[in-house]
Amino acid sequence: MSYHLSTAKLHFYRQCPQAYYFRYECHLRPTAFAGGPAEMGTALHQALAKIYQDWHYQDPVPGVDWVDHCWQQHTTDLTPSQIFEGQAILRRYYRTFIGNRSVLNRPVATEGKVQGHLNINNLEFSLSGRYDRLDWLSDGLELIDYKSSKAVKEMSPDQINLQLGLYYLALEQRYHQRLKRLSIIYLRSGQVVSFDATPFHKEQIEASVCNLAMRLRAEKTWEPQMGDHCHRCPYLSYCPAHQPQPQPIPQTSQRFQGLQLALL
Ligand code: SF4
């Protein structure tokens, strides 16, 4: 049996074991967060995947009409103003990242999922992550992540390092190639932020998973770790650190106590 991890899961655990317990051990669904217009983000991601995936690559660079065409395929659930806004975002993307190039390179994959495996102390871990686009570089791979929300949520250095390590490990296992770079493209501004990946990031994720494995073996209390993150925690009403009488965890959500020991 393998224990499935993602960077979100690892980050969650490092931030607060109690919240990790609610979410991943009890499978307690987070209470509603203001999510924003998800349809717009989904449509932009799908259109970008189509732009790269379905271009025939017989001509070196598509025209902007190809971008408009791909956008129109994904606007069914959008309001007229979102359709207009999305088109403007993608046209800016075209001018910045496609139209000014002599050649559009075919990516390795778009909208993909990679999975890596680690065996630590006889515990099998699978680590997975999703990406928007994976490109070849002359000396490795570049992973591209598109961000489409209006409110840009900065990732912490810990989240970035975990992502770099996870993708480094998983891509090396899958493609036998090194991840050289993770680039985040902010679609609304056209800004690109890149992070270099190194073997050190892989070592870090291995150490994090090893640490988690040890703690999962011993964990009994899932100590709450209070901090600034608490004000965004979806489990506030269940949290013993914040509520003198926390809301009981619904029976249907509770997993069998001690199941983590079955992984040994
Ligand atoms: S409110 Fe804070 S301490 Fe409580 S579970 Fe959430 S993150 Fe942890």
Q: Rounded CA gap, 9 and 13, in Å?
A: 6
Protein residues with CB under 6 Å of any ligand 1 atom? 16, 18-19, 224-226, 229-230, 233, 235-236, 239, 241-242
- Return the pLDDT at 152: 66
Q: Which of 16, 28, 222, 231 to mutate to test the pocket of ligand 1 (most atoms within 8 A of CB)?
A: 16
Q: Which domains does the chain have, with CATH numbers?
A: 1-35+108-264 (3.90.320), 38-97 (no CATH)
Beta bridge partners of 117: 126
Going by pLDDT thresholds of 50, 70 and 90, the confidence category of residue 157 is confident
Atom of ligand 1 nearest to the CA of 234: 6
Q: What is the mean pLDDT of residues 189-197?
A: 93
Beta bridge partners of 113: 130
Instruction: For residue 141, report the phi and psi dihedrals to the nearest 5 degrees.
Output: -125, 150
Whether the CB-CB separation of 182 and 201 falls below 8 Å is answered with no
**Torsion over CA of 169, 175, 179 and 182, rounded to 10 degrees?**
-100
- Return the pLDDT at 176: 93
Residue 261 in this model has a pLDDT that exceeds 50: no
- Return the pLDDT at 37: 57
Residue 34 in this model has a pLDDT that exceeds 50: no
Q: Which of 225, 238, 249 to mutate to test the pocket of ligand 1 (most atoms within 8 A of CB)?
A: 225
Residue 102 in this model has a pLDDT that exceeds 70: yes
- Tracing tokens 């778009």 back to the chain, one arrives at 110
Q: Which of 23, 226, 228 to mutate to test the pocket of ligand 1 (most atoms within 8 A of CB)?
A: 226
3-state helix, strand, coil in the chain (%, to 5): 45, 20, 35
Q: What is the mean pLDDT of residues 249-263?
A: 48
Atom of ligand 1 nearest to the CA of 235: 6
Whether the CB-CB separation of 87 and 74 falls below 8 Å is answered with no
pTM for the structure as a whole? 0.76
